[in-house]
Chain A
Amino acid sequence: MSIATGTFWLGRYDTVKTRFSSLKKIRWGRYSVISIPSLWLALFFFIPFLVVFKISLAESAIAVPPYTDMFAWNVEDAIIDVKIKLGNYLYLFEDSFYLDAYLSSVKIAAVSTFFTLLIGFPMAYFIASKTGTMRTLLLTLVILPFWTSFLLRVYAWMGFLKKNGIVNEFLQTIGLIDQPIQMLQTDFAVYIGIVYTYLPFMILPLYTTLEKLDGSLIEASKDLGAGPIRTFFLITLPMSMPGILAGCLLVFIPAVGEFVIPALLGASDTLMIGRVLWDEFFQNRDWPMASAVATMMLLILVVPIMFLRNGKKEGAE
């Protein structure tokens, strides 16, 4: 190596070094900014799942806290006893109660999601077809319930659907029914409750895609002789698919684990897994079983959650 190239490299090294140290300074600030929210999420959102999984493998015990330790330290003989109980998971499959609860939660969530879409789509389309103040006003009307207490909105339906509630009174007054019908504490009330509380979650993503919809395509389709129904199914519906998918997942995922709605509006035998988990924890005080129920619920929901994330990424690009 000649002296010239040697100094060249030394010079390079110097500039690289100074550049690197200033970079390092920025990097340091950068990483501290990045790490604060990341650490919070890791500690209070991600690690708790691991804890749930760990406790789902423990045995329920009469103690504080009410489960056995996974590791037992035997200091004298330097042995770590590891105790893993798979019984909670086996029980999930053995007792048809749990399987039924999972299936019925998924069914209730899916049916409600479908009806939310059915009601939400025309509303979103209507709002997207408006402009200016009218559009702002309608959007505010959609968002406003979202800001008011969810618990109280579910409660409002209790008064609405009761045996001597407003809906029954109304149906009797107009002569549609003679006797009040049981609506509260039925699966029907749970469907209504879910559709009602999650409707804004459906309308907003639908509106966002419908608003961007290229009107010229619809016009072209009509000019080429397609009727409104044909145009809707061939143009509008496929083009609003990202919004439909996002809206459906935003309703479906939390609806599967819903607790408040089946607890307040459902019958005592309306099986939903969120309620099963709640009872397992608060009534039976079986923390390991509640953890196993939660772990299984998470496994069921992982697929739709991944779908939602992928959809979002595509939407962003």
Chain B
Amino acid sequence: MTRNSKFLSISSLFGFIFLYAPILSLIIYSFNKSKLVTVWGGWSVKWYAELFNNQQIIDAAIVSLKVAFITATLSVVLGVLAGYVLSRMGKFPGKLIVSGWISAPLIMPEVITGLSLLLLFVSLENLIGWPAGRGITTIIIAHTTFCMAYVAVIVQSRLSQMDDSLEEAAMDLGAKPHSLFFLITLPIISPAIISGWLLAFTMSLDDLVIASFVSGPGNSTLPMVIFSKIRLGVSPEVNALATIMILIVAIGVVSAMWQMRKKEKTL
């Protein structure tokens, strides 16, 4: 048994090193003075200063944040509805189709989703004149389509974990369906809603492929700008940007976990 667990811990250790070493090197090299990314030239924060002077990156970041915020909010509304429908509304015609399709955007290769949405937008524009051109709106619609799937899956699993006795009690006491939903179900699934919103936000912020297909001229998102920069090679500015984004996410996730643990303990 000890030999077994030794093998397990050593291979897991290597696994975690594999997961984190590239990220760590990225962070360290973002503080590198030298322009040659691999030659260490001493500590410096000049790439951060350069990053904040780069108007192209800042514009793209604003577009991305705007898109991500609206996407996350829309995805939560649609995803909560979908998750609720699938786990609380019993059988209805077409349930199999909805439950099958809802998780499909999660695994569908992005090039297919991107291309198919673009062709839909172009055909719709020819047919009914909407959406006129491509831009932030089309990116938001495209992102919401795959982000709502994440929210729906999270909400669905949260709802299936908890028993419906509270909801039944409320119903027995005469609660109407909508007040039941807003007073009982929604508060119970609020942790799932928060993590769903955050996940949708990060997924939208991160997407390169789908946004490249459905965005129009002058509406480049942050990943699109990053991609065009790093295609030609490693860029120290991108290292600085990556460090900022990774740190924000790390702080966010760790504090969220911490909060949840605290909540669990008090319960």
Contacts and interface: CB of A to CB of B under 8 A. Distances in A.
A305 interface: yes
Nearest to B112: A294
A119 B18 contact: yes
Contacts of B81: 33, 36-37
Interface in B92-136: 92, 94, 97-98, 100-105, 107-113, 115-117, 119-120, 122-123, 126
A256 B242 contact: no
A156 B245 contact: no
A129 B141 CA distance: 42
Interface in A151-187: 151-153, 155-160, 162, 164-166, 169
B122 A40 contact: no
A55 B119 contact: yes
A227 to B, nearest CB: 11
A294 B230 contact: no
Contact of A51 (B89, B123, B242): B123
B78 interface: yes
B221 to A, nearest CB: 11
B65 to A, nearest CB: 14
B23 A148 contact: yes
Nearest to A25: B177
Identify whether the interface residues of A are mostly helix, strand, loop, or mixed.
Answer: helix
B9 interface: yes
The B interface is mostly helix, strand or loop, or mixed, namely helix
A148 B249 CA distance: 6
Given A36-B78, A49-B116, A152 B246 contact: yes
Size category of the A interface is 35 or more
B152 interface: yes
B245 A290 contact: no
A259 B223 contact: no
Interface stretch (A2-10, A72-80, A95-103, A274-282): A274-282
Most buried by B among A125, A140, A156, A312: A156
A92 interface: no
A308 B231 contact: no
Interface string A198-234: 0100000000000000000000000000001000000
Contacts of B170: none
Given A196-B22, A253-B109, A278-B111, A156 B38 contact: no
A193 B261 CA distance: 33
B85 A44 contact: no
Nearest to A43: B120
Contact of B209 (A141, A157, A256, A259): A259
Interface string A250-273: 100110111110011000000000
Interface in B154-196: 177-178
Nearest to A157: B22
A156 B108 CA distance: 25
Nearest to A66: B122
Nearest to B206: A149
A52 B213 CA distance: 13
A41 interface: yes
Interface string A273-317: 010011001100001001100100110010001001100100000
Interface centre among B89, B108, B142, B241 (most CB of A within 10 A): B108
B223 A125 contact: no
Given A158-B234, A159-B26, A143 B145 contact: no
Contact of A48 (B120, B148, B152, B238): B120
B148 A37 contact: yes
Given A144-B250, A309-B100, A33 B89 contact: yes
A264 B252 CA distance: 28
A274 B213 CA distance: 13
A199 B18 CA distance: 10
Interface in A6-52: 26, 29-31, 33-34, 36-38, 40-42, 44-49, 51-52
Contacts of A256: 109
Interface in A130-156: 136, 138, 140-145, 147-153, 155-156
A297 B145 contact: no
B202 interface: yes
Interface of B: 1, 3-5, 7-9, 11-12, 15-16, 18-23, 25-26, 29, 37-39, 78-79, 81-82, 84-85, 89, 92, 94, 97-98, 100-105, 107-113, 115-117, 119-120, 122-123, 126, 141-142, 144-145, 148, 152, 177-178, 199, 202, 205-206, 208-209, 212-213, 223, 226-227, 230-231, 233-234, 238-239, 241-242, 245-246, 249-250, 252-254, 257, 261
12 contacts: A40-B145, A44-B144, A52-B116, A127-B12, A149-B246, A150-B206, A152-B238, A158-B230, A160-B25, A162-B38, A297-B109, A309-B103
Q: Which 4 A-B pairs have the closest CB atoms?
A: A257-B109, A48-B116, A156-B22, A37-B82
